[in-house]
Structure 1
Amino acid sequence: MASSVHSSLPAPALHASKAALNAALSDIEASEPGEVQEIEVDMAAQAETLKTVFNDPKNFNVKHPLYSAWTLWFDSPATKGRNLPQTPVTAFPQTPHPGTPGGAAAHGWMEDIKRVINIDSVEEFWGLYNNILPPSALPQKANYYLFKEGIIPAWEDEANKLGGKWSIQLPKEKNRRHVDTLWLYTMLAAIGETFDPYLTDPELLEPHPESLVTGVIVSSRPQFYRISIWTRSAPGINSEDDDKLRQRIEGIGRHFKTSVLGYNEGQKLAGPLATEVEFISHKDSEKKGKGRKITV
């Protein structure tokens, strides 16, 4: 899996960001399946220096900015109905969320979800990753949501309401050793902006289109894990340029299936407790299984 950074970044920043993500991925891919490699990051030391790669592109002891800032959210049965000062999965203090989407149901749901921390650099990502529980250790019915800063992980958010999601359901017993690595790869593809190649297509005129990906989610359930990628648009919701949009949406799904999850493009995955890599719009999801799905 290769990482990608928006081509409008200055050349030194582009090179350093690619190098940082590629180096991390190389180390991870060299490990055994299911084995997540620990990477030590001194967050206190990073916080003391305000330098970024824009100030010092030749040294690696500076922050390497991501194309977008991201926010990690978390919920579990332990957080529901409780105003906890911090979540049980991390030592980071929570940051109050900026607001809630409309609707009484959404408001009640937002009272249960906890905003953990914002990140905007490669170093902050690894510092966060090494200080939270992996998905395999989460309690049942718990969820991690990694969404672009300013986007609430709810259908009602303006960035999500016309979109949909790619998702795959994986039987728990067969994937307990692998889900941590699959979730890590999903997050790296998201923060590296590799899901939607239109962002970095050199043939496209400036400005490049807005990224379709708004966030990624991993959910732990009694018998399975689910990993999802949310998009801001979905085919059939807006008829304008629907063919091009469908191509972009399908490209995200193929990249998710082959480069992130490691399956062959034509491989069939459905079985007991397992699904194919499927896309459905949020509006169709409300129809409880009767909506139109795209599979890759």
Structure 2
Amino acid sequence: MSTLPASFQHANKVALSAALAENPDNVSNDSDTEPGEIQEVDMQAQAEGIRTVFSHPTNFNVKHPLYSSWTLWFDSPATKGRNLPQTPISSFPQTPVPQTPGPAAAMGWMEDIKKVISFESVEEFWGLYNHIVPPSQLPQKANYYLFKEGIIPAWEDEANKLGGKWSIQLPKEKNRSQVDKMWLYTMLAAIGETFDPHLTNGEASEPNPQSLITGVIVSTRPQFYRLSIWTRLAPSGVPEDDQLRERIEAVGRHFKTSVLGYPESHKLSGPLATEVEFLSHKDSEKKGKAAKKLIV
């Protein structure tokens, strides 16, 4: 039995049907078919030749491309100061990922962040996800960074330097059983491009609209987990930024209600807990001094 939610099981069935429809070699060629008549397809027979990541995590032959390509990065105390990558991958085959040039590449702390793998399809994502250690089992002070390919998970990257992040901080003991699901849903929302209403609501007028989202992060700390959504832009507070502010706030509301599953009016309480809040990277550098937060 599949352990995936019903919605994802349905999505896999749809993907399989689409793959079969795109493979005319397996369609029955009945000479008695009248012109214009739709030929019957033996779905069971065709399915036997289709291998997805659900049936074979390494040798699947069907790929459904994502809107963007993504790269998973990882760091933990075990990777500090090591020359060889130490990743939480168990058996999924890795492909070489070229180093990305940029200002952050010269920073000492970036030397401790290891690139795990890049992927560009739904099947590759599930192959990766099924072979990495979940956040609930990571050591303290470990981080997963899932960023669009070519973007370094650092403020200094060109795609991030004008942006900010939505984040939520959750007490560890109360959320240990939920954090893996929260992280999975956060990644799915990111690679499925559902965070930004500019894309999902058809508000974009340009032919190839660019999402606000550059990456997502999960961090484990001794007493809490932190989930973050990074954006390429942040509102400055001037009236001209009202439309951008509304768009940024919509990302936060989607994160809180649709991804994390909290009611919009829900308020977190207790030590170590924070609301779902947004800070620009520039304000984050101020360490709370005159920082302007958005809260949903």
Give the shorter-chain TM-score range.
0.7 to 0.9
Q: Is the 8 A contact 1:101 1:107 kept in 2?
A: no
Equivalent residue for 1:161? 161
TM-score, length basis structure 1: 0.78
Q: CA deviation at 1:19?
A: 4.3
Residues 287, 270 of structure 1: CA spacing in aligned structure 2 closer, same or farther, 3 A cutoff?
farther
Residues 241, 123 of structure 1: CA spacing in aligned structure 2 closer, same or farther, 3 A cutoff?
farther
SS at match of 1:115: strand
In 1, Cα distance between the equivalents of 2:104 and 2:228? 23
Q: CA deviation at 1:200?
A: 3.6
Q: Deviations over 1:129-183 (max 9, x none)?
A: 0000000000000000000000000000000000000000000000000000000
TM-score, length basis structure 2: 0.78
In 2, Cα distance between the equivalents of 1:286 and 1:94? 35
Runs of 4+ in 1 over 3 A off after TM superposition: 15-21, 88-97, 200-204
Q: Deviations over 1:2-60 (max 9, x none)?
A: x9xxxxxxxxxxx9799459xxxxxxxxxxxxxxxxx84523322xx4xxxxxxxxxxx
1:260 is aligned with what amino acid?
V
- Number of residues of Structure 1 aligned to a counterpart in Structure 2: 251
Identity across aligned pairs (percent)? 73
Equivalent residue for 2:267? 268
Equivalent residue for 1:251? 250
Equivalent residue for 1:219? 219
Equivalent residue for 2:140? 140
Q: Is the 8 A contact 2:104 2:154 kept in 1?
A: no
Q: CA deviation at 1:210?
A: 1.2
Equivalent residue for 1:188? 188
Is 1:283–2:282 an aligned residue pair?
yes
In 2, Cα distance between the equivalents of 1:133 and 1:155? 26
In 2, Cα distance between the equivalents of 1:224 and 1:203? 37
1:43-122 to structure 2, matched below 5 A, reads 43-46=57-60, 49=61, 62-91=62-91, 92-93=93-94, 95-102=96-103, 107-122=107-122
Q: CA deviation at 1:90?
A: 3.9
Q: Deviations over 1:206-227 (max 9, x none)?
A: 3253100000000000000000
Q: Out of 268-277 and 155-164, give the one that drifted further.
A: 268-277
Q: Is the 8 A contact 1:216 1:229 kept in 2?
A: yes
In 1, Cα distance between the equivalents of 2:100 and 2:239? 31
In 1, Cα distance between the equivalents of 2:13 and 2:233? 27
Q: Alignment RMSD, CA only?
A: 2.6
In 1, Cα distance between the equivalents of 2:118 and 2:262? 31
2:142 is aligned with what amino acid?
A
In 1, Cα distance between the equivalents of 2:89 and 2:202? 41
In 2, Cα distance between the equivalents of 1:82 and 1:220? 20
1:153 is aligned with what amino acid?
P
Q: Is the 8 A contact 1:41 1:126 kept in 2?
A: no
Residues 85, 114 of structure 1: CA spacing in aligned structure 2 closer, same or farther, 3 A cutoff?
closer
1:95 is aligned with what amino acid?
P
2:271 is aligned with what amino acid?
P
SS at match of 1:98: coil
SS at match of 2:119: strand
Q: CA deviation at 1:88?
A: 4.1
In 2, Cα distance between the equivalents of 1:88 and 1:262? 28
Residues 224, 101 of structure 1: CA spacing in aligned structure 2 closer, same or farther, 3 A cutoff?
same
In 1, Cα distance between the equivalents of 2:247 and 2:207? 17
Structure 1 residue runs of 5 or longer lacking an equivalent are 4-14, 22-38, 50-61
